[in-house]
Amino acid sequence: MRMQLATWPEVESYLARSRAVILPIGSTEQHGPTGLIGTDALCAEAVAWQVGERLSTLVAPTLAVGMAQHHMRFPGSMTLRPSTLLAVVRDCLLSLVRHGFARVLVINGHGGNSATLQAAFAETQMELDALAPRPELRTRLLNWWELPEVDRLSAELFGEAIGSHATPPEVALTWALHPERADPRPLEPRRAPSSPFFGADDFRRRFPDGRIGSDPSVASPETGRRILAAAVDEIAQAAERFFSAE
């Protein structure tokens, strides 16, 4: 059940049987010439929705804008400050706790969010520590693309073409969701360069088309469906353990 498609009495009834909820979070940022700007949010959302359906778990609305400052020299990218993202996530968690949710699984689609998400978890727990009685809250963060089986399948399907941004696994997953947007044309260079970078200007200078080390032309809607299925299988198993843990 998707929270935004539910009524408040339906959520109240759900809480009578379960205190678990899934919160997808992504980013709004460029993903090279052929990748969608909403890639990170679309991927996290799709995985979350399917995991929620499989486990009959409520899925909260996707937080679609994350920490993407280093992409801000590419039109269409949007970013929150780390402090803003932390505050947004903390407030969302506190809202969920106030209604009685006690297990929040965050499915993340953007690596740049990870440190801030962990900080938001810690700050929320500190705030709850000051309350009496102290509400229960357990959080867990899963980056969908870093799961062992997803990583193994990605290596099998794409090999050295993966790179680290605008990668074939994430691009393929969005093409599975929106096959009409699939654009597997070869890019020049075929594999983008890869190196450290320092801020948005340096990112655009080093990686002028937005890719880092990747060749998304090897992606396809079919490979995206396989990646999505693997991510859902693996996260559903982890979520079931997390939600049932004492």
| pLDDT tens-digit map of 88-124 | 999 999 999 999 999 999 999 999 999 999 999 999 9
| Number of independent structural domains in the chain | 1
Confidence of residue 237 (pLDDT cuts 50, 70, 90): very high
Confidence of residue 31 (pLDDT cuts 50, 70, 90): very high
- The CA-atom distances, in angstroms, between 69 and each of 77, 111, 167 are 9, 12, 19
Q: Domain holding 60: CATH number?
A: 3.40.50.10310
- In this predicted structure, the answer to whether residue 233 has a pLDDT above a threshold of 90 is yes
The answer on pLDDT for 246 being more than 90 is no
| Contact yes or no for 226/157 (Cβ under 8 A) | yes
Tens digits of residue pLDDT in 40-54: 999 999 999 999 999
**Alpha carbon distances (Å) from 137 to 74, 108, 131:** 38, 19, 12
Q: What's the mean pLDDT in 14-27? A: 98
Express each pLDDT in 219-229 by its tens digit.
Answer: 999 999 999 99
Q: Name the 3-class secondary structure at 59.
A: strand
**Domain range for residue 100?**
3-244
The per-residue pLDDT for 7 is: 98
The rounded distance, in Å, linking the Cα atoms of 82 and 68 is 9
pLDDT of residue 106: 98
Cα gap 20→32, rounded to integer Å? 36
Spell out the alpha helix ranges (H) of the chain.
8-15, 39-55, 82-99, 114-129, 148-158, 168-177, 199-206, 221-244
Q: What is the pLDDT of residues 152-193, one digit of tens each?
A: 999 999 999 999 999 999 999 999 999 999 999 999 999 999
CA distances from 13 to 36, 100, 176 (A): 37, 12, 34
What pLDDT, in 10s, does the model give residues 115-151? Answer: 999 999 999 999 999 999 999 999 999 999 999 999 9
pTM: 0.97
